[in-house]
Amino acid sequence: MNIVLWVLAGALAAAFLGAGVMKVSQPREKLVEKGMGFAADFPMGLVRTIGALEILAAIGLILPAVTGIAPIFVPLAALGLVAMMIGAAIVHFQRKEYPAILPNLVLLAMAAVVTWGRFGPYAF
């Protein structure tokens, strides 16, 4: 199970690092072009903040475990991603972007498993 948790954390870190870097570095128009329609309706400061939080979560999923420094941040980062994906699913629902909810739920489930595993029986 430890290997499964590492694979899930790595996949989540890669996905959120990529999405976060895109949100902090791209202009609004490019984000909307790439399927992030919510960026048209939200202040860019909030979009950039979401991107920065995604980057921090990606780092928090891997770095503390690898270094052994404050490994409690791994499940906390995963828990933060659970909250972000709940928020993302709500936004997609309100915008009637129903197909976009499924990836949010998959990422939410992955982050929930990491949260459970690293807070519980497979803590560092």
Residues 55-78 have pLDDT tens digits of 999 999 999 999 999 999 999 999
Both structure tokens of 47: 């979009």
Q: Count of domains in the chain?
A: 1
The Cα 21–Cα 49 span in angstroms is: 11
Residue 40 lies in a domain: yes
The Cα 9–Cα 115 span in angstroms is: 10
pLDDT value at residue 124:
84
Residue 44 lies in a domain: yes
Under 8 Å CB-to-CB from 55, ≥6 apart: which residues?
16, 17, 20, 21, 24
Residue 124 lies in a domain: no
Q: Which of 55, 52, 72, 76 is nearest to 64 (CA)?
A: 72
Residue that the structure tokens 């949010």 belong to: 104
Confidence of residue 110 (pLDDT cuts 50, 70, 90): very high
Contact 84, 53 (CB under 8 A): yes
User: Is the CA virtual torsion 38, 42, 44, 49 positive or negative?
Assistant: negative
The Cα 89–Cα 123 span in angstroms is: 28
Confidence of residue 45 (pLDDT cuts 50, 70, 90): very high
Residue 92 lies in a domain: yes
Residue 61 lies in a domain: yes
Residue 108 lies in a domain: yes
Distances, alpha carbon 116 to alpha carbons 3, 19, 40, in Å = 14, 24, 35
Domain span at 30: 2-119
